[in-house]
Amino acid sequence: MFNRIGLTALVAGTLWVTFGAVPAVRGDEPAAAAARPVQPSAPTVKAAEPKPAAESGDKNIVYLSEEHDVWLNKQDKQVVMKGKITVREGNLEMFACPQQTKEYESIIAISARKMENVHAALLALGAKPGHPAKYDTQFHPPTGSPIEVTVRWTDKEDKKHEARGQDWVRNLKTGKPLEYEWVFAGSRFQENTETGEKRYSANDGDFISVVNFADSMLDLAFESPKDWSEHVFEPFTDRIPPKGTDVEVVLTPKPEKEEKKSGR
């Protein structure tokens, strides 16, 4: 499952087969918007070639980008990404986003830009994507395999630290850390109807959300409003290292909860 050919196939093709072609509109727009032509601005998705394990110096590590800023740890069954602290206070929409997207409202900016590689790596680890938040006559929360988010970093004294992602997000109503888990909502692939170009929507910023978006890859499985006046979360400032600190964000799929069998 983790050989180079298999993972390359996942990155290059599995997502398109999974999602199919969908109109390039956000899920919270009116249905009529789907009829609008899409502007030919989205670049063609070209997945990065995973690096052979031999090049990493560890047979359990498979790099998913030429920059070696995102990789699959086969032994620990984790996806790891490099990033930097960008926000320590204020209202939040994202816990983490790709760099040069939503840094102004995200605690961490991820160095890697192709989130479809992260999606494919989670699939390789057995995580199952559900669906992002949906809005019609009522709210439908995100679904998918639960994903544990962990952050690792080293301070100025060369001391190593590790924290749960939830512990860096403060609930404004309770004053306590985020009590909800992230689920693998899966974002979506969109095709430009004029050019046929395909793009993974989470690349535009909606990677690990604390506010519900129709393009989020990881989201909270409850209703978290987008309106600024209704935002529920903020950074837990005292627990977050200084802005600019280099970090690693670790995604670990959690075992699915077994449904209780009803007795007869």
Please report whether residue 37 resides in a domain: no
Task: Give the pair of three-digit tokens for residue 79.
Answer: 């996806």
Please report whether residue 148 resides in a domain: yes
How many domains does the chain divide into? 1
Helix (H) or strand (E) holding 183: strand 182-184
Chain segment 107-117, per-residue pLDDT in tens: 999 999 999 99
Which of 60, 180, 199, 186 is CA-nearest to residue 118?
186
Q: CA–CA separation, 131 vs 148, rounded Å?
A: 18
Greatest distance between any 2 Cα atoms in the chain: 61
CA distances from 223 to 35, 39, 139, 183, 251 (A): 28, 31, 7, 13, 22
Please report whether residue 205 resides in a domain: yes
Altogether, the residues listed in the chain come to a count of: 264
Range of the domain at 231: 4-26+46-253
Q: CA–CA separation, 229 vs 28, rounded Å?
A: 18
Please report whether residue 52 resides in a domain: yes
pLDDT score of 185? 96
Please report whether residue 88 resides in a domain: yes
Residue spans of the chain under pLDDT 50: 2-55, 259-264
Torsion of CA 213, 217, 218, 223, to 10 degrees: 20
Q: Where are the beta strands (DSSP E) in 57-181?
A: 61-63, 70-73, 78-85, 94-98, 106-110, 129-131, 134-135, 139-140, 143-144, 146-154, 160-164, 169-171
Please report whether residue 34 resides in a domain: no
Q: Which residues pair with 147 in a beta bridge?
A: 182, 253
Please report whether residue 36 resides in a domain: no
Is the separation of the CB atoms in 186 and 132 below 8 Å? yes
Q: CA–CA separation, 109 vs 93, rounded Å?
A: 13
Q: CA–CA separation, 261 vs 183, rounded Å?
A: 24
pLDDT score of 129? 96
Please report whether residue 158 resides in a domain: yes
